[in-house]
Amino acid sequence: MKVLITLLLLTIALSFMNTSKSDVKTRLLIARECVGCFLENADLQQLDLEGVNLENANLKQANLHQTNLNKANLKNANLQQTRLTEAQLKQANLTKANLFEANLSKSNLEEATLEGANLVMQIWEKVRSKMLILVKLY
């Protein structure tokens, strides 16, 4: 019985590892979460991902141009070299997120939390940041 349960769990785990990017988009839009997902180079532009949980997700070099990420949980997310131009990040949780070389031009970061986030060399042109919470930046 233990062997059967182990095989079942392994099969489920492998099916998630082989999930296509379109399946991930569907998961994001319906389940509103993709904790720890590998989304490197993903094209997620212009999606409505308000309130989505992307904690610990790898979004390195992803395209999030004009994406609605208001109230999204991006805690510990890897957003290195990510395109966040004109993205809506109002009240988003970016605690300890890696924003190294991310492009945040014309994005809305009102009331977003960036505590402990890596904000080295990112592009901030015309960013809206009313009441931005910047505590203990590294």
Q: Give the Cα separation of 32 and 100 in Å (integer).
A: 25
Write down the pTM of the prediction: 0.76
* Per-residue pLDDT tens digits for 30-50: 999 999 999 999 999 999 999
Give pLDDT < 50 ranges for the chain: 7, 10, 14, 17-18, 135-138
The dotted CATH code for 1-138 is: 2.160.20.80
- DSSP states of the chain: -HHHHHHHHHHHHHHHHT--HHHHHHHHHHH-B-TT-B-TT-B-TT-B-TT-B-TT-B-TT-B-TT-B-TT-B-TT-B-TT-B-TT-B-TT-B-TT-B-TT-B-TT-B-TT-B-TT-B-TT-B-TT-B-TT-B--S--
Domain spans in the chain, listed from the N-terminal domain onward: 1-138
* Per-residue pLDDT tens digits for 51-66: 999 999 999 999 999 9
- The whole-angstrom distance between residue 56's C-alpha and the CA centroid of its chain comes to 8
In the chain, the amino acid numbered 131 is M
